[in-house]
């Protein structure tokens, strides 16, 4: 068991390399799928063996530790699950160019994610983290097919560079933070029980730097900017595996280790986490509201949801931490599902513009229903999984607010609660637009050429599995909590309010069934068409009710207009800030160093030429004159010889 853990890393790495030897595309896909299936089975096996704090010394005396605990076992399981599903989906995804390298990258991605989960010491961890950054860069550099005109607005390399800089900044901070932390605790082995208090500047620095690493990975504000940029150019499956699932799993895993295993949080740290979480929820969802590109819309939601997870850890109570982790799993499920849905639509329609889409529910029923499940889940509608985890988080903020003695912290808890609930509502608003614009409503200019069909079976399977998991986790959240999350936590999760999701699920399902029966009975099948009537006002939009139109009015509200202008300007974008800083630095260097040196060089040059001129003037070519020089020279030589005499 101990050393076999390492197979989870070595097997995908070697198979990824081996894959490149295969000639046939299909063989590569099959092989990759097989390896990922093996990884999934093995991680299931590892999970159900319930290893408790196992640590293996990897190479003799070098003190490199691999290990697994209750939390990393769960993460490992989900990493391999997503790897397998996305691989399944990618098989028939045609917008992806150069699939050979893609499958190798996918295998390596899973390998290094496994390694990051299995790392029981900081050296292996930071190594895996660096490899993941490299793979992220490689993935984002993949070209999507040229038949997708939307993606040509910005080049893949631009967004890849942006991700490299922002996540690279985070990784660098993480490395610094880890160095400081290792300096404090005196060993590179990861601790299992938090012992470091945030009571001196050194530990604070270490804590904040490590947070930066986790935030950049998970895409939490203010280190989120690479995700919307990547969404515009990266292929759908890549978005589904990286920012939507794996990066969240690993980023939040790191956050969990930081907040629970590495540091003992105090009130200020909690307030920082809560505020970052709350503000991330709010501004990202506000940005999401006005997006017309479905990939960008999804990417802003991917940021917004991270806010919930961070907020959960910020509460510092067991139910909040459990809620954060639960939300992480849920989010990975529905967000990767949503990105895959988006990819399916792009695959069939060739565009991601919400204004150009519409009415796809008829042609793509499976995609519609799974998309609806994901949308309701992310919006926190009961009885789906998003509600279950958000419910835990609301309780956690309430518990935190009532138990803390710090007035200020109580206020922060209140802000967080409001932000979380309000954010959830805005998410719902945004996803109504998403569902309406894509699946309902009408196409702006219906293409007569051919009707879109449902995507292929493997692609459907992948999204159906994800949607099924969303429902299952929504119906039996307590089971998941007991089996997957509580074992890692030192305390039992204490519930403030109870929510019997199974019963409500049955009730809701019965209601839906009854409605369906009523509809099937055929009473209301006749449809009457009439003119538009909006309180006597002229309708500003056509009869096809474009979903994006309403959201434009939000953008034009007096206060919101300012806010959007500020947010859209990306003036807080780390990438832009760094770029501006470097540019000004370069300019200063140019003026004060380069130009000065240039001036100096010219001065020297003129000096040399001046001397040259003077010496040439002295050489008159007159023989008598030269003879005088010779005699003077002789006198000087003799003078110097005799001086020492």
Which is nearer to other proteins, 147 or 644 (by Cβ)? 644
To other proteins, the closest distance from the beta carbon of 628 in angstroms equals: 10
Q: On the CB side of 173, how many CA atoms lie within 13 Å of its CA?
A: 21
CA pair distance 564, 271, nearest whole angstrom: 26
Residue in 437, 326, 442, 319 with CA at minimum distance from that of residue 377? 326
To other proteins, the closest distance from the beta carbon of 115 in angstroms equals: 46
As a residue count, the chain comes to 645
To other proteins, the closest distance from the beta carbon of 635 in angstroms equals: 9
Taking contact as CB under 8 A, which single stretch among the options 168-176, 180-188, 350-358, 623-631 is the one that binds other proteins?
623-631
Contact between 645 and other proteins per CB under 8 A: yes
To other proteins, the closest distance from the beta carbon of 602 in angstroms equals: 13
To other proteins, the closest distance from the beta carbon of 612 in angstroms equals: 4
In this structure, are residues 35 and 12 in contact, taking their beta carbons and an 8 Å threshold? yes
Which is nearer to other proteins, 532 or 634 (by Cβ)? 634
Which is nearer to other proteins, 59 or 614 (by Cβ)? 614
Q: How many residues make contact with other proteins (CB under 8 A)?
A: 26
Which is nearer to other proteins, 530 or 624 (by Cβ)? 624
Phi, psi at residue 644, to the nearest 5°? -85, -5
Which is nearer to other proteins, 593 or 638 (by Cβ)? 638
User: Can you count the helices (H) and strands (E) in the chain?
Assistant: 24, 4
Residue in 464, 462, 397 with CA at minimum distance from that of residue 236? 462
- Parallel/antiparallel/unpaired status of strands 65-68 and 54-57: antiparallel
Taking contact as CB under 8 A, which single stretch among the options 52-60, 317-325, 494-502, 620-628 is the one that binds other proteins?
620-628
Contact between 633 and other proteins per CB under 8 A: yes
To other proteins, the closest distance from the beta carbon of 212 in angstroms equals: 46
Contact between 533 and other proteins per CB under 8 A: no
Which is nearer to other proteins, 23 or 643 (by Cβ)? 643
In this structure, are residues 329 and 336 in contact, taking their beta carbons and an 8 Å threshold? no
Contact between 626 and other proteins per CB under 8 A: yes
To other proteins, the closest distance from the beta carbon of 1 in angstroms equals: 59
To other proteins, the closest distance from the beta carbon of 611 in angstroms equals: 5
Q: Return the residue of 197, 513, 603, 638 that touches other proteins, per CB under 8 A.
A: 638
Contact between 17 and other proteins per CB under 8 A: no
Contact between 632 and other proteins per CB under 8 A: yes
Q: Which of residues 577-616 bind other proteins (CB under 8 A)?
A: 605, 608-609, 611-613, 615-616
CA pair distance 311, 324, nearest whole angstrom: 7
* Element spanning 629, H or E: helix 623-643
Contact between 627 and other proteins per CB under 8 A: yes
| Ordered alpha helix ranges (H), 141-246 | 156-185, 201-218, 226-233, 236-241
Contact between 640 and other proteins per CB under 8 A: yes
Q: What is the DSSP letter of 6?
A: G
* Burial of residue 393 (number of CB atoms within 10 Å: 0-12, 13-18, 19+): buried
Q: Which of residues 137-196 bind other proteins (CB under 8 A)?
A: none
Which is nearer to other proteins, 197 or 637 (by Cβ)? 637
Which is nearer to other proteins, 533 or 645 (by Cβ)? 645
Which is nearer to other proteins, 533 or 642 (by Cβ)? 642
Q: On the CB side of 625, how many CA atoms lie within 13 Å of its CA?
A: 6
Phi, psi at residue 57, to the nearest 5°? -85, 120
Token pair in block for residue 115 = 């390694």
To other proteins, the closest distance from the beta carbon of 631 in angstroms equals: 9
Which is nearer to other proteins, 585 or 604 (by Cβ)? 604
| Ordered alpha helix ranges (H), 244-355 | 247-256, 267-289, 294-315, 318-349
3-state secondary structure 434-453: HHHHHCCCCCCCCCCCCCCC
CB atoms within 10 A of CB 3: 9
Which is nearer to other proteins, 62 or 645 (by Cβ)? 645
- Parallel/antiparallel/unpaired status of strands 196-197 and 263-264: parallel
Residue in 369, 182, 218, 374 with CA at minimum distance from that of residue 294? 374
To other proteins, the closest distance from the beta carbon of 39 in angstroms equals: 54
To other proteins, the closest distance from the beta carbon of 598 in angstroms equals: 16
Q: Which of residues 96-125 bind other proteins (CB under 8 A)?
A: none
Which is nearer to other proteins, 62 or 642 (by Cβ)? 642
To other proteins, the closest distance from the beta carbon of 644 in angstroms equals: 4
Token pair in block for residue 480 = 């998941």
Query: Under the rule (CB under 8 A), what is the footprint of other proteins?
Result: 605, 608-609, 611-613, 615-616, 619, 621, 623, 626-627, 629-630, 632-634, 637-638, 640-645
């Amino acid at each position: 068991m101990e050393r076999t853990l390492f197979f989870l890393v070595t097997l995908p790495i070697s198979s990824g390399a081996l894959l490149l030897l295969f000639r046939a595309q299909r063989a590569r896909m099959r092989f990759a799928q097989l390896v990922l299936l093996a990884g999934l089975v093995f991680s299931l096996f590892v999970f159900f063996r319930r290893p408790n704090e196992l640590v293996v010394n990897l190479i003799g005396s070098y003190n490199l530790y691999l290990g697994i605990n209750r939390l990393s076992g769960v993460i490992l399981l989900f990493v391999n699950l997503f790897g397998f599903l996305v691989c399944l989906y990618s098989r028939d995804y045609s917008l992806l160019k150069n699939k050979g390298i893609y499958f190798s990258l996918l295998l390596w991605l899973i390998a290094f994610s496994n390694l990051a989960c299995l790392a029981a010491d900081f050296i292996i961890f930071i190594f895996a983290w660096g490899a993941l950054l490299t793979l992220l860069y490689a993935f984002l550099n993949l070209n999507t097919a040229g038949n997708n005109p939307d993606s040509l607005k910005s080049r893949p390399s631009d967004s890849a560079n942006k991700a490299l800089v922002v996540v690279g900044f985070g990784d660098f901070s993480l490395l610094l933070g880890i160095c400081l932390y290792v300096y404090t605790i005196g060993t590179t082995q990861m601790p299992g029980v938090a012992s470091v208090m945030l009571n001196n500047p050194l530990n604070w620095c270490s804590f904040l730097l490590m947070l930066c690493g986790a935030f950049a990975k998970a895409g939490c504000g203010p280190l989120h900017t690479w995700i919307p940029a990547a969404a515009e150019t990266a292929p759908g499956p890549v978005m589904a595996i990286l920012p939507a699932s794996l990066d969240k799993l690993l980023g939040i895993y790191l956050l969990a280790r930081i907040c629970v295993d590495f540091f003992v949080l105090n009130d200020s740290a909690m307030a920082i986490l809560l505020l970052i979480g709350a503000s991330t929820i709010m501004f990202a969802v506000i940005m999401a509201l006005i997006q017309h590109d479905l990939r960008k819309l999804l990417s802003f939601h991917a940021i917004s949801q991270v806010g919930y997870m961070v907020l959960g850890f910020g509460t510092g109570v067991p139910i909040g931490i459990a809620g954060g982790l639960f939300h992480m799993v849920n989010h990975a499920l529905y967000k990767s599902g949503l990105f895959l849905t988006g990819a399916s639509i792009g695959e069939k329609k060739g565009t991601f513009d919400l204004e150009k889409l519409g009415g796809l529910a008829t042609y793509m029923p499976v995609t519609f229903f799974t998309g609806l499940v994901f949308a309701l889940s992310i919006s926190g509608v009961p009885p789906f999984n998003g509600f279950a985890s958000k419910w835990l988080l609301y309780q956690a903020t309430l518990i935190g607010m009532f138990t803390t003695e710090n007035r200020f912290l109580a206020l922060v808890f209140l802000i967080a609660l409001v932000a979380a609930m309000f954010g959830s509502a805005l998410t719902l608003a945004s996803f109504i637009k998403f569902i309406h614009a894509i699946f309902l409503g009408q196409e702006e200019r219906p293409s007569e050429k051919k009707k879109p069909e449902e995507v292929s079976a493997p692609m459907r399977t992948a999204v159906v599995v994800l949607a099924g998991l969303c429902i299952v986790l929504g119906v039996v959240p307590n089971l998941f909590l007991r089996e997957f999350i509580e074992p890692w936590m030192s305390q039992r999760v204490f519930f403030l309010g109870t929510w019997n999701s199974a019963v409500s699920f049955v009730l809701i399902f019965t209601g839906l069934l009854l409605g369906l029966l009523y509809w099937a009975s055929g009473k209301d099948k006749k449809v009457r068409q009439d003119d538009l009537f909006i309180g006597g006002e002229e309708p500003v939009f056509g009869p096809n009710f474009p979903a994006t139109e309403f959201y434009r009015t939000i953008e034009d509200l007096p206060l919101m207009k300012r806010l959007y202008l500020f947010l859209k300007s990306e003036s807080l974008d780390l990438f832009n800030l760094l770029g501006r800083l470097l540019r000004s630095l370069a300019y200063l260097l140019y003026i004060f160093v380069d130009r000065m040196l240039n001036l100096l060089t010219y001065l020297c040059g003129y000096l040399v030429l001046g001397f040259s001129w003077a010496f040439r003037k002295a050489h008159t070519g007159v023989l008598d004159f030269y003879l005088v020089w010779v005699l003077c020279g002789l006198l000087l030589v003799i003078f110097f010889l005799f001086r020492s005499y």
